[in-house]
Amino acid sequence: GVKPYNILILFFSLAYMAITLDITGVLQAAAFWVSNKGGSHGYKLYFYFYVLLTVLSIFLGNDPVILSGTAFLVYYTKVTELNPTSWLMSEFAAANTASMVLFVGNPTNVVICEGFSVNNAAFTAYTILPFLGCITICLVALGVQFRKSKYIPRRLAVTEDLDVRSVLLDPIGACVGGALLGSCLVVIIIVSFFHVDVWKISLPFAVSKFVYDIAWDHYRWAKDIPMLGQSPKRKASDDTDSTLREDIPLEHKAEAVVPHRDASKDMLVEVVDRPDSSTRARSGTHPPTLPQSHVIVDEPNTMSSKSLIGRLRSRYIAKHAKLATHYPTFFTALPRLPFALVPFAFSQFILIEGLAHQGWIEVFSVWLVRASNKQMHPIIWLIGVLGVILCNCAGTNIGATILLTKIVRAAALEDAQNRAAAIALAVASNIGAVSFTFSASLAGLLWKQILEQKGIFIRQGTFAYWNTLPLVVMTGVGLGIVSAEMGVLYK
């Protein structure tokens, strides 16, 4: 019953709406607001950030939160002279754990709902209690292992509040985007009772948001209203170093608000400053650091006029730069869409279909039946623990979810056992991202890439070391709650 196109269209539609909402600056503004509320109290601020990231991840999914939250925390921990380890690990754990609540929070949730025919609203009803248990025990585990003051100090070196309005680049776009995304989620949950494919709902909402973005950017361009912090009508000849606002502009926007202080901490992460980082910190200025697609450039003078390829490339760059300044919302969101998910997801489906064709899925399903004796609670723990383990070695949590879904369906279990396996797999596929390898999830690979771009390199062993305790306790608590739920529902 799993339809790859259904999953991908749904995920891309929601990703576009979430990313364009983030571009307005609303997530950064929320982070600044929470920072001001926490003040200089270390434990209070740590808790506030944990709650904020959890709430945002529930409604937006983990990828948009990791995109913006990671950039903010890297900057914030640097200017306040904090060890980034505890803050970044809590962000990663909160974002991935919270994505189990709504079926749209993670592609694995959509696979489970499609594969086990779980109603979208029922999915949330089943996972809300395991989520509450996991997110709470995870915070406790993080507090225990980061109890030393070098990770979470009692007092922070914060002298002034952050300017929330400075990072809210498009208040009108934030309101419209939030309304469309919220309405889409509500409508999807309602129509799920009528067995309508969810992509038929999410796609029109995404198209509506795209039309709004184009129309709103064109209106601001025509009226000469600043867009994303820049005046829209800029010529390449005005200033060859002029750039559009970066799609994750947190540290650049916050730099003008909070005085920068260089930090040197003894930590289990290797922090490497860029060659010009100290100069920027003292001067408060930033050289162009945007991707080429966001930079306004002159036509290369050195390129031969006789070179057809050169002329075409020059025209393409000039045209792309012109469109990017005219429609900055779409052209900022475009490179952030999860295009890598398309070949990855299809390759996982193809590989697992190949296993099924060769008869391995039937073999695995026989092993599952023998190991569990078709009893509900053994099935919950077998699928849950296997799900967490396979996230690390079966092609991320997406591959693990597809594989285990096929195995459980091939086992021909009763409805109660099928439902129990589905919810156990939902818990495992989300908390399994908080695991021993970065490749346990696409979010982990994205998180690692962002940190390396910011000059922070977390070793694989360090990542596994700090995730072990939260993962173990979340697995025990989450699957224990699922067992209790199913024991009550299917007496």
Is pLDDT above 90 for 25? no
The whole-number pLDDT of residue 235 equals: 42
The whole-number pLDDT of residue 1 equals: 60
The whole-number pLDDT of residue 244 equals: 37
More confident residue, 389 or 244: 389
Segment 461-484 shows an average pLDDT of: 95
Average pLDDT, the chain: 82
pLDDT band for position 491 (cuts 50, 70, 90): confident
pLDDT band for position 160 (cuts 50, 70, 90): confident
More confident residue, 37 or 234: 37
Is pLDDT above 90 for 194? no
Residue with tokens 């056992």: 417
The whole-number pLDDT of residue 301 equals: 52
pLDDT in tens, 75-116: 888 878 888 999 999 999 999 999 999 988 888 998 899 889
Report the percentage of the chain scoring pLDDT > 70. 83
Is pLDDT above 50 for 290? no
pLDDT band for position 298 (cuts 50, 70, 90): very low
pLDDT in tens, 299-316: 455 445 558 888 888 888
Helix/strand/coil (H/E/C) assignment for every residue in the chain? CCCHHHHHHHHHHHHHHHHHHHHCCHHHHHHHHHHHHHCCEHHHHHHHHHHHHHHHHHHHCHHHHHHHHHHHHHHHHHHCCCCHHHHHHHHHHHHHHHCCCCCCCCHHHHHHHHHHCCCHHHHHHHHHHHHHHHHHHHHHHHHHHCCCCCCCCCECCCCCCCCCHHHCCCHHHHHHHHHHHHHHHHHHHHHHHHCCCCHHHHHHHHHHHHHHHHHHHHHHHHCCCCECCECCCCCCCCCCCCECCCCCCHHHHHHCCCCCCCCCCCCCCEECCCCCHHHHHHHCCCCCCCCHHHECCCCCCCCCCCCHHHHHHHHHHHHHHHHHHHCHHHHHHHHHCCCCHHHHHHHHHHHHHHHHHHCHHHHHHHHHHHHHCCCHHHHHHHHHHHHHHHCCCCCHHHHHHHHHHHHHHHCCCCHHHHHHHHHHHHHHHHHCCCCCCHHHCHHHHHHHHHHHHCCEECCHHHHHHHHHHHHHHHHHHHHHHHHHHHHHHCC
The whole-number pLDDT of residue 255 equals: 40
pLDDT in tens, 218-277: 999 998 887 766 654 544 434 434 433 444 443 344 443 443 434 333 334 444 443 343
pLDDT in tens, 321-333: 889 889 999 999 9
d(CA 172, CA 336): 22
The whole-number pLDDT of residue 306 equals: 54
Is pLDDT above 80 for 45? yes
pLDDT in tens, 47-57: 999 999 999 99
Residue with tokens 């100290």: 278
pLDDT in tens, 398-415: 889 999 999 999 998 999
Q: Which of 336-340, 389-393, 465-469 has the lowest mean pLDDT?
A: 336-340
The whole-number pLDDT of residue 2 equals: 67
